[in-house]
Amino acid sequence: MFKTLFGSAPSKEPSLLERLKAGVQKTRAGLMEKIEDAVSGRKEINAEVLEELEYALITADIGSKTTAEILERIRERVARHLVGDAGELKGLIRQYLLEVLEATERPVPQVAEPPAVIMVVGVNGAGKTTSIGKLTKRLQSEGRSVLLCAADTFRAAAIEQLEVWAQRTGVDLIRQQPGSDPSAVMFDALQAGKARKTDYVIVDTAGRLHTKENLMAELEKMRRTAARVIPGAPHEVLLVIEATTGQNGLEQARKFTESAAVTGIILTKLDGTAKGGVVVAISRELGLPIRYVGVGEQLDDLLPFDPANFVASLFD
């Protein structure tokens, strides 16, 4: 079942696994081909096999820490004679990746009455505004009403881009002039959301480098503003990261988590990289759940993330 801020949605999308498989095709091809090369025809688990497995995992961007843990687990199993031959290693890797992803799963905070407030943050060019449009469409498909807030007031084009998405999805947009105080725009949007009893208010924020301390401080101010208008808000702070950034995305996530209290990740452009293992690295090293993954350019190509489905899409 899809998880939402109001509980589980009533229906399950039957083609979710198939669509995810298509989205991670490049990662699957690269990772599984390398794993197969490492274990194919091998009976003995030796240093050469482990070295090739390490290469497979590192090049898929699963992360050095997770890779080291996987190899250590394999060595322990071999030492205790719990692994018969190299052919069993694929199952061990699969099991460990699933454990890592499931360990960071967190329930979405439940909202007693609307609106639920979602702040969307990230660096420039990560696909933030596009993800907001796709998220709006997904929530609408679950029968929810949505109001958009154009709190990225630094770029006039950002407001216009969000306006296009509002028109495409048929929702209202709260906006002010470029250069306005983002917290003031958010205040107006949350007041409007309360008055209209809208299910969700999604707040677009200015794309910013995680190294810009004044802009990061602004996110803290926006969070305080949200909490004053609606106790407990923002209920979700979603950080948009490109899967193609690989390990570089980890440092972004760390900084945003410190300043914006990120609660989950939207990973975009998963279909465009062979390094989709960054999903695992983010979960393992930041303790943050992946909420959604982008697997294409279409409006419905933002999929709810499920650890079991993700691992199955790589290994099955």
pLDDT, tens only, 94-142:
888 899 999 988 888 788 889 999 999 988 778 889 999 999 999 999 9
**Nearest by Cα to 118 from 256, 234, 267:** 234
Q: Would residue 294 count as lying in a domain? A: no
At residue 315, φ and ψ (nearest 5 deg) are: -105, -25
Classify residue 122: in a domain, yes or no.
Answer: yes
Residue 214 is inside which H or E element, if any?
helix 213-229
Q: How confident is the model at residue 2 (pLDDT cuts 50, 70, 90)?
A: very low
- pLDDT above 70: residue 269: yes
Is the predicted pLDDT of residue 13 greater than 50, yes or no?
no
Would residue 162 count as lying in a domain? yes
Q: Considering the domain boundaries, does residue 207 fall inside one?
A: yes
Range of the domain at 148: 107-262
One-letter amino acid of 194: K
| Mean of pLDDT values over 33-46 | 76
Residue 73 has pLDDT above 60, yes or no: yes
Q: Tell me, yes or no, whether 34 lies in a domain.
A: no
Residue 45 lies in a domain: no
pLDDT of residue 264: 93
In the numeric block, the tokens 């998963």 are attached to: 270
> What is the enclosing helix (H) or strand (E) of 169?
helix 156-169
Q: What is the CATH number of the domain that holds 223?
A: 3.40.50.300
What pLDDT does residue 14 have?
44
* Domain contains 304: no
Q: Round to whole Å and give the CA distance between 155 and 140.
A: 27
pLDDT 10s digits, 206-252: 876 655 667 778 888 999 999 999 999 999 999 998 888 766 777 77
Domain count, the chain: 1
In this prediction, residue 143 carries a pLDDT of: 94
Confirm whether 76 is domain-assigned: no
Q: Is the dihedral of CA 196, 198, 204, 210 positive or negative?
A: positive
Select the more confidently predicted residue: 11 or 163. Answer: 163
Spatial distance between the Cα atoms of 15 and 1, rounded to a whole number of angstroms = 13
More confident residue, 135 or 4: 135
| pLDDT one-digit tens code per residue, 167-195 | 999 999 999 998 899 999 999 999 999 99
pLDDT digits (tens, 9 = 90+) for 280-302: 888 888 888 999 998 888 888 89
